[in-house]
Amino acid sequence: MYLEIVSPETTLFKGDVESVSVPGVDGDFEMLNNHASVVSILKDGFVKIRGQIKIEESNISKFDKKDDSYWLAISSGTIEMNDNKIIVLAD
């Protein structure tokens, strides 16, 4: 599954991942490979990424590493998943 996280300033991450958890307005939810298509508004919280991922050095300071995942704090945003591609527009 392919993930792209974009902020107003830059692309924070793009690459293949195993799973992504996000803070939806109706509660946190996780997406795995072949998840149904979804569009949602995000609230204040953390985007959690799992997998063998590599974050560019210029963006690594924006992520926290906890156990086997990377966490990115966001204040709001939107997410779209379709055909194993996830795009997060994060503030």
> Does residue 53 contact residue 13 with C-beta atoms inside 8 Å?
yes
Is 0.75 surpassed by the pTM of this model?
Answer: yes
| Whole-angstrom distance, CA of residue 46 vs CA of residue 70 | 10
> Does residue 23 contact residue 44 with C-beta atoms inside 8 Å?
yes
Q: Which domain holds residue 75?
A: 2-90
> What band does 80 get if pLDDT is binned at 50, 70 and 90?
very high
The model's pLDDT over 46-79, given as tens digits with 9 standing for 90+, comes to 999 999 999 999 999 999 999 899 999 999 999 9
CATH of the domain at 61: 2.60.15.10
The model's pLDDT over 1-56, given as tens digits with 9 standing for 90+, comes to 999 999 999 999 999 999 999 999 999 999 999 999 999 999 999 999 999 999 99
Terminal CA-to-CA distance of the chain, rounded, Å? Answer: 23
Locate 44 and state its tokens. Answer: 């204040």
Number of domains in the chain: 1
